[in-house]
């Protein structure tokens, strides 16, 4: 297994890559190299690399969320727009996992192994969605997209506690609630392949949110902080969006949220 420094260096190398296909391949190579204990990069040089973070292609055009457009499941284009939006979320998720891996030093080795796993699984999700989009006659970049997920990543570059609180266990956790109804819409429209991909994504996202929850609670313990009060303070400070239901309670409990936290989502205080 590679060292934390080697993994961080390789993650930055992947993060700077702008071509989606090359990024997916680089993440797979990183996972394989880590497993083999052979980084293949000069860690000192790689950690000094420069470029836009995250590396991303010229398209899709990034627009405000309300300008992305409505998606009707009655047409192939409408389904393609939804698949494209999901692919963009997964592409951003690859980048946020890579950023969590490289940006924060001096954490336990298990932290880096966890985020290596997340980056590899998110890259697989993106590749599946991008390939399915091709079967509908479209490519990633053909429709505009929004960047709200990465905006919170940018806000939390200085504090790993804020990152764990507000990206995996807030923004990514919304996917646990959103995926089942989207899957149902795609299945009802006859797109069984897309529905099957969402089954895989939901399964994996439970694990990704659990990783965020686990490291958030670890960091709170290390700093002598009460998790729920700290989360409330961070959510206000960083202007995090308020989760809105309906909530996938079963998935959230599997992902490491406490029953008290789930009750609080429903406005219950006890």
pLDDT band at 44 (very low <50, low <70, confident <90, very high): low
Q: In this structure, is residue 57 part of a structural domain?
A: yes
Summarize the confidence of residues 51-58 as an average pLDDT.
Answer: 91
pLDDT at 95: 97
| 7-21, 58-72, 82-96, 221-235, range with the lowest pLDDT | 58-72
In this predicted structure, the answer to whether residue 255 has a pLDDT above a threshold of 90 is yes
Q: In this structure, is residue 198 part of a structural domain?
A: yes
Q: In this structure, is residue 157 part of a structural domain?
A: yes
Question: Residue 177, preceding bond cis, omega within 30 degrees?
Answer: no
- The number of folded domains in the chain is 1
CB 225 within 8 A of CB 166: no
Q: Is 127 or 71 the better-scoring residue by pLDDT?
A: 127
Chain-centroid distance of CA 66 in Å reads 21
Give the CATH number of the domain where residue 111 resides: 1.20.1260
Q: In this structure, is residue 127 part of a structural domain?
A: yes
Share of the chain above pLDDT 90, in %: 78
Predicted TM-score of the model (pTM): 0.93
Q: In this structure, is residue 241 part of a structural domain?
A: yes
Q: In this structure, is residue 122 part of a structural domain?
A: yes
In this predicted structure, the answer to whether residue 45 has a pLDDT above a threshold of 70 is no
Average pLDDT, the chain: 92
In this predicted structure, the answer to whether residue 120 has a pLDDT above a threshold of 80 is yes
pLDDT at 270: 47
Q: Is 71 or 114 the better-scoring residue by pLDDT?
A: 114
Q: In this structure, is residue 270 part of a structural domain?
A: no
Domain membership of residue 19 as a residue range:
4-265
Q: In this structure, is residue 178 part of a structural domain?
A: yes
pLDDT at 1: 55
Task: Report pLDDT digits (tens) over 181-224.
Answer: 999 999 999 999 999 999 999 999 999 999 999 999 999 999 99
Closest-CA residue to 255 (of 201, 214, 224): 214
Closest-CA residue to 242 (of 267, 259, 225, 260): 267
């Amino acid at each position: 297994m590679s060292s934390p420094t080697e993994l961080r260096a390789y993650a930055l190398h992947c993060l700077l890559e702008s071509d989606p296909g090359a990024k997916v391949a680089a993440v797979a190579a990183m996972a394989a190299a880590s497993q083999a204990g052979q980084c293949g990069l000069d860690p000192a040089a790689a950690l000094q690399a420069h470029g836009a973070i995250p590396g991303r292609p010229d398209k899709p055009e990034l627009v405000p969320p309300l300008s992305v457009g409505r998606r009707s499941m009655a047409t192939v284009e409408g389904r393609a727009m939804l698949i494209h939006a999901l692919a963009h979320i997964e592409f951003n998720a690859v980048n946020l996992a890579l950023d969590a891996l490289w940006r924060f030093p001096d954490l336990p080795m298990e932290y880096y192994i966890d985020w290596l796993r997340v980056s590899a699984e998110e890259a697989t999700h993106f590749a599946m969605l991008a390939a399915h989009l091709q079967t509908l006659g479209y490519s990633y970049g053909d429709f505009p997209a929004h960047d709200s997920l990465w905006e919170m990543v940018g806000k939390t570059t200085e504090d790993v506690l804020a990152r764990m609180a507000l990206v995996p266990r807030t923004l990514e956790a919304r996917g646990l609630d959103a995926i089942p109804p989207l899957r149902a819409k795609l299945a009802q429209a006859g797109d069984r392949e897309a529905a099957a991909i969402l089954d895989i994504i939901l399964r994996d996202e439970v694990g990704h949110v659990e990783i965020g929850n686990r490291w958030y609670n670890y960091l709170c313990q290390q700093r002598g902080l009460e998790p729920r009060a700290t989360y409330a303070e961070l959510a206000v400070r960083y202007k995090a969006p308020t989760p809105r239901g309906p909530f996938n309670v079963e998935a959230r409990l599997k992902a490491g949220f406490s029953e008290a936290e789930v009750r609080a989502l429903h406005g219950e205080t006890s």
